[in-house]
Amino acid sequence: MAEMEERAEELRKKGLCKNTNLLDHISRCHFCSFITYTQDGFVSKLRMRGAAAGGVSPRSNPEPRHRLSSATQEDTTKRRSFRSRVFRDAEKPFSSFNQERHSNCKFSTLKLVLVIIIFGAFLTLLKSPAVYNTDHLASFRYRPSFVGQLSTDKFAADQRYISRLDVNWDQVSEVIEKLADRHEYQGIGLLNFNDSDIEQWKLLIPDAEHVVLHLDFVSNNVTWESLYPEWIDEEEEFEVPICPTLPDIPAPGKPRIDLIAVKLPCNKLREWSRDVARLHLQIAAARLAATSKGYHSVHVLLLSDCFPVPNLFTCKELVVRVGNAWLYEPNLNTLRQKVHLPVGSCELAVPLKSKDHYSSNARREAYATILHSAHVYVCGAITAAQSIRMSGSTRDLVILVDETISEYHRGGLEAAGWKLHTIERIRNPKAERDAYNEWNYSKFRLWQLTDYDKIIFIDADLLILRNIDILFEMPEITAIGNNATLFNSGVMVIEPSNCTFQLLMDHINEIVSYNGGDQGYLNEVFTWWHRIPKHMNFLKHFWEGDEEEKKEMKTKLFGADPPVLYVLHYLGLKPWLCFRDYDCNWNVNILQEFASDVAHKRWWKVHDSMPENLHKYCLLRSKQKAALEWDRMQAEKGNYTDGHWKIQIKDSRLKACFEEFCFWESMLWHWGDTNWTDNATATLAPPVAIISGSLPSLYNPYKTRNMEGVESIAASRFPIDLLFFRVMRSVEEPDMLNTNVAKTGEGKRI
């Protein structure tokens, strides 16, 4: 009895038996297979499996582990009870079998119907377009900023895509009024709107069908740095660069989408212009618009407190802007070209091995550069023009000059082929007075050259060694990488537009340039840019960490004939400000990273190919000769191992003088003495020719470029003859051996 109680307790713990009265019905057994209870909690049936007895053969049992080794009286009683139950079950009428068969048939039929329903639903889902009509979403709860996906409790909104914008529907209505054919619209595509926004859209354009566009979120591991890496393997020596994937909006078959409206996030507390989700939404909208077929136009409406990507949907395509509502009618052919480009600088937009020549509407395309407060770059601009013509390009050459560029120098620029446009300088409000970057925001004037559709801007301190007209095929902004996620503005493709110019001016007090110059400012506005091979703006620079093999490779590129490089960009002290005998960067310790005699020789080769009447614009001023000699003396004193300071100068410009004061050697007597004064020097006669206004700056021997190729003032290497510097600042620009050059006028004024 005790054993039976223990067995009952065991079954009770297992949940198989819940009543102690079961003890009367339990014998020694191994398994309680089935227990049912009445509503009162009593057992109605208990099936026990044990060993076979009587006329049942032990071999007939397929479960040997249930056989018992001995039989007791209780065993016999249990077997007899079990056998009689089996006999009673065998005596059930055949009607039970028929009912069971009928029940099985009904169950099979239900299974078949269920399979058909599931299969039909699957086909419907497979064939349906990947957009969701808001008219059929009443039963679903739509969450704000959940980008086109059905919002149920199992999904959560991606915080990156959330827009906190409180839409001003009066402004939106005013914008919509500009759509003359809005009453004929078939479909309005809505991206990143919430339920209440969608209801407003239905009231605003009631006759069109409103669809919520489906857009999968970009992967969390896609960062701005992965879209714009500092370096990629352009030569594909070790890997093929591949950009991360930004999911597309599946193009709906019907209805036809006539207007795409997007609500953009804009978190001004963070770096909103480099927001991956924000860029993704705009590119996705552009890709969808580009899929439009036929001749009907597609409008794109962007709602944002921050200005949209200015070179994706351009100012030329802006129909109207009211508050934070920006309505565009994009050129679909141009848009298709843009959306087929890599999403960032993670891949080359122009193949390294591309065609050298490109033909298009040359009348609307030009090369351009700018000279402001920098007459010392006139020689560089003249030589750059010569290199463009030697490369085979016939595009217009346009140069922006300010009032400080003399008539004499203007004559030389025009003789070299430049078309002059006189500009009013733009001051950098964050620059110190008389600093190198005080007026470099004047570069924004390039966007006012609206006589042209495309401009390839080039700095005046570079050479075009191979034709780069192919860049006219590229959109704004196309450039080489600089450092981090930034581009180098020394060579870049822009698309002139007064609207873009105004955008640059509107934020001039707001945007902070990372380097204080125009390059840093432009990088904050045009964060979506396209990478071209570094051979199209190859910097004359040897990094500190470059191995000898790397330096030799660069040197070979500088001198390769025929050229391998497209553009060679001269950093540090410029070739025309050195004696032609060698690169004078060798004589300044902190500038030796920019020194290359091979590259130096290459520049002078182009210079010598110019007409001789242009050579005089590259003569050296007396003060520059003194500065070069001072540097040489310091190199000799330091016993620089490169030994360039030992080379005898044979440059004929050493003895050529075009100034009133030519005794440059005397400047060295007190070059390092900051307290020296000389009244005789202070009363120097003014030059024969002057120009209106004073120059804010003259040549600074410390002026160079930093590691990124951006102009800066290097740390002081030696004391300056301050008084002489002041005198030279007050002396007007000389006429430089020109007594017969006709005055050219100002050219076109901006």
Compute how many other C-beta atoms are within 10 angstroms of the C-beta atom of residue 573.
26
Predicted confidence at residue 375, as pLDDT, reads 85
Dihedral sign, Cα of residue 350, residue 353, residue 356, residue 360: negative
Burial class (CB in 10 A: 0-12, 13-18, 19+), 471: buried
- Please say whether the beta carbons of 671 and 714 come within 8 A: no
Cα angle vertex 458, ends 452, 459, to 5°? 140
Predicted confidence at residue 138, as pLDDT, reads 32
Amino acid at 721: D
Name the region of 184 (left: φ>0; alpha: ψ -120 to 50; beta: rest): alpha
Q: How many residues does the chain have?
A: 750
Name the region of 192 (left: φ>0; alpha: ψ -120 to 50; beta: rest): left
Nearest to 315 by CA among 49, 133, 499: 499
Predicted confidence at residue 120, as pLDDT, reads 72
Burial class (CB in 10 A: 0-12, 13-18, 19+), 77: exposed
Predicted confidence at residue 391, as pLDDT, reads 98
Q: How far apart are CA 388 and CA 418, in angstroms?
A: 11
Cα angle vertex 133, ends 127, 136, to 5°? 100
Predicted confidence at residue 231, as pLDDT, reads 95
**pLDDT digits over 527-545, tens only?**
999 999 999 999 999 998 8
Nearest to 585 by CA among 645, 655, 649: 645
- Edge-to-edge strand ranges of the sheet holding 567-570: 462-464, 567-570, 538-540
Q: Which of 33-37, 538-542, 679-683, 734-738 has the highest mean pLDDT?
A: 538-542
Q: How far apart are CA 212 and CA 246, in angstroms?
A: 19
Whether 719 has a pLDDT exceeding 70, the answer reads no
Cα angle vertex 583, ends 580, 585, to 5°? 140
Predicted confidence at residue 636, as pLDDT, reads 98
**pLDDT digits over 460-487, tens only?**
999 999 999 999 999 999 999 999 999 9
Whether 33 has a pLDDT exceeding 60, the answer reads no
Amino acid at 522: L
DSSP state of 741: P
Whether 10 has a pLDDT exceeding 50, the answer reads yes
Rounded to an integer, the average pLDDT of 446-454 is 97
Q: How far apart are CA 375 and CA 21, in angstroms?
A: 113
Rounded to an integer, the average pLDDT of 374-395 is 96
- Please say whether the beta carbons of 733 and 403 come within 8 A: no
Predicted confidence band of residue 254 (pLDDT cuts 50, 70, 90):
confident
Q: 681 or 322, which is more confident?
A: 322
Angle between helices 597-608 and 378-390 (to 10 degrees): 80
Predicted confidence at residue 136, as pLDDT, reads 34
Name the region of 295 (left: φ>0; alpha: ψ -120 to 50; beta: rest): alpha
- Please say whether the beta carbons of 420 and 748 come within 8 A: yes
Q: How far apart are CA 427 and CA 509, in angstroms?
A: 11
Name the region of 589 (left: φ>0; alpha: ψ -120 to 50; beta: rest): alpha
Domain boundaries, the chain: 2-90, 134-339, 362-533
All residues at 6 or more sequence positions from 307 whose CB lies less than 8 Å from its CB, including other chains: 326, 503
Q: How far apart are the first and last CA of the chain?
A: 114
Nearest to 640 by CA among 586, 585, 574: 586
Rounded to an integer, the average pLDDT of 253-276 is 92
Fold of 362-533: Spore Coat Polysaccharide Biosynthesis Protein SpsA; Chain A (3.90.550)
- Please say whether the beta carbons of 258 and 299 come within 8 A: yes
Give me the percent of the chain exceeding a pLDDT of 90: 60
State how far the alpha carbon of 395 is from the alpha carbons of 497, 521, 525, in Å: 19, 28, 28
Q: How far is CA 507 from the centre of its chain?
A: 20
Backbone angles phi, psi at 680, to 5 degrees: -65, -40
- Edge-to-edge strand ranges of the sheet holding 257-263: 131-133, 209-213, 187-191, 257-263, 299-303, 325-328, 318-322
State how far the alpha carbon of 551 is from the alpha carbons of 541, 588, 643, in Å: 9, 19, 18
Please report the DSSP string for 303-347 in residue order: E-SS---TTTS-GGGEEEEETTEEEE---HHHHHHHHTS-SSTTS
Whether 8 has a pLDDT exceeding 70, the answer reads no
Q: How far apart are CA 50 and CA 60, in angstroms?
A: 13
Residue with tokens 């004499």: 408
Q: How far is CA 537 from the centre of its chain?
A: 19
Backbone angles phi, psi at 210, to 5 degrees: -100, 125
> How does 278-306 read in b/e, with b if 16+ C-beta sit within 10 Å?
bbbbbbbbbbbbbbbeeeeebbbbbbbbb
3-state helix, strand, coil in the chain (%, to 5): 40, 15, 50
> How does 217-241 read in b/e, with b if 16+ C-beta sit within 10 Å?
bbeeebebeebbbeebebeeeeeeb
Average pLDDT for the chain: 78
Structure tokens at 210: 């409103």
Nearest to 368 by CA among 397, 395, 405, 394: 397
Structure tokens at 569: 């960009």
Nearest to 438 by CA among 427, 451, 448, 449: 427
Q: How far apart are CA 259 and CA 190, in angstroms?
A: 9
Q: How far apart are CA 241 and CA 481, in angstroms?
A: 14
- Enclosing H/E stretch for 46: strand 43-49
Predicted confidence at residue 310, as pLDDT, reads 97
Q: 157 or 570, which is more confident?
A: 570
Amino acid at 529: W
Q: How far apart are CA 482 and CA 315, in angstroms?
A: 26
Residue with tokens 């005055």: 743
All residues at 6 or more sequence positions from 198 whose CB lies less than 8 Å from its CB, including other chains: 134, 142, 190, 210, 212
Whether 270 has a pLDDT exceeding 70, the answer reads yes
DSSP state of 282: H
- Edge-to-edge strand ranges of the sheet holding 419-422: 530-531, 478-481, 487-494, 454-458, 365-371, 396-401, 419-422, 748-749
Rounded to an integer, the average pLDDT of 580-587 is 98
Nearest to 386 by CA among 465, 456, 449: 465
Predicted confidence at residue 86, as pLDDT, reads 37
- Please tell me whether the overall predicted TM-score, pTM, comes out greater than 0.75 for this model: no
Return the SS3 of 629: helix
Rounded to an integer, the average pLDDT of 205-222 is 94
Q: 468 or 435, which is more confident?
A: 468
Whether 421 has a pLDDT exceeding 50, the answer reads yes
Whether 23 has a pLDDT exceeding 80, the answer reads no
- Please say whether the beta carbons of 491 and 479 come within 8 A: yes
Judged by average pLDDT, the poorest of 74-78, 337-341, 396-400, 497-501 is: 74-78
